[in-house]
Amino acid sequence: MPSSLAAQNVAQHVPLSLLPVVVFLLGLCLLDSYRLVRPSAVVVSVGLGVAIALAALAILRIVVAAGGWSQYRYSSLAGPAVEETLKFGYMAALIASKRAGFMIDAAIHGFAVGAGFAIVENVLFLSSADSSLAVSALRGFGTAIMHGGTAALAGIVAVRFAEARGAGSGAGLMIGFATALGIHVLYNQAVAFPAAAAAGAMIVLPVTIVFFFREGQAAIRRWLGVGFDTDAELLEMVSGGQIGGSKIGAYLCSMREHYPPAIVADMFCLLRLRIELSIRAKGILLMRQAGFEPPRDPEMSEKFDEMRHLERSVGTAGMLAMQPLLRWRDKDLWEINMLARRRT
């Protein structure tokens, strides 16, 4: 196709091929009443999706050239495996680093990565073929939604299993990846029926994502209610010197048999500070849900510096011993990461 015709084709059809995935991504961001994912973070995920698509294209060209494969053969299984591995690698990194601790932020980041991937794929496809509006619509309502949906569901499934089985569950990551790969392969196998494949992707994937999205919101409400009350009661006990007769106090006192008094004192200070930060993070989410953005705490940096100092003082062995008290689970670690991002 001459370059002028290719440019005209892109200008006419690419917006249609990207509109559905962009609208759905914006819809997910608007549904995020707790504002777990900042707009800048969404942009970063979209940009990484673009980079992942370019990496997948490079791998495609290498495999086709070196192995003598046809592009059709590659897209039947090898293509989905490569693409979903690259997309899910980013999702796994977010989950492992506790930057995605809920089904909601996993869904948004996943769909954003898929949207970035779809931007590159649809632009390249429509600029290299004489496509009709019908083809552009199928690419937008089918392929683009599929790319965003598979990454979003992979993140949702991984987080859901982590919640059920505890932090660090590798089974959740494996099942999440298998879910994304299975959907992608199934979609590609239905290439002979593009309208049906697009309709299935447009109906099934968004409905499923929204279902888990709402379930995630309900889970956050439950977690905030129980966690806020528990943290508040515990902080009152620690600050009021009433912790001595509790199980937590007995556990900390038992540490005196294994650690010097100064280390045990730092453990008490770390526990109090950790509870204060947890309450602060939950309060931010509650205010966001009510439509307010809390001001930045000017003392946040000092609190984090103090926390890091106490962690170094307690040491690795002491931190492991304190795990039952600090409740180092995914959502608690996510809280710390959220506050850490707000202090700058």
Scored b (16 or more CB within 10 A) or e, 269-293 reads: bbbbbbbbbbbbbbebbbebbeeee
E strand or H helix that includes residue 96: helix 78-96
Average pLDDT, the chain: 81
Q: What is the pLDDT of residue 183?
A: 93
* Sequence spans of domains, the chain: 3-216, 241-342
The tokens of 103 are what? 């089904």
Percent of residues, the chain, with pLDDT higher than 70: 79
pTM summary value: 0.74
How many Cβ atoms are within 10 Å of 5's Cβ, its own excluded?
Answer: 11
- Which position has the higher pLDDT, 294 or 158? 158
pLDDT in tens, 145-188: 999 999 999 999 998 887 776 544 578 889 999 999 999 999 98
- Please tell me the least confidently modeled range out of 67-76, 191-200, 265-274: 67-76
Q: Using DSSP, state whether 14 is helix, strand or coil.
A: helix
Alpha-carbon gap, residue 297 to 131, rounded angstroms: 54
Write down the pLDDT at residue 302: 85
Cα–Cα distance measured from residue 7 to residue 294, given in angstroms and rounded to the nearest whole number: 46
For the ranges 38-47, 70-79, 297-306, the lowest mean pLDDT is seen at 70-79
User: Quick one: which of 172, 167, 217, 159 has its CA closest to 327?
Assistant: 167
The encoded tokens of residue 50 equal: 């673009």
30, 24 Cβ separation under 8 angstroms: no
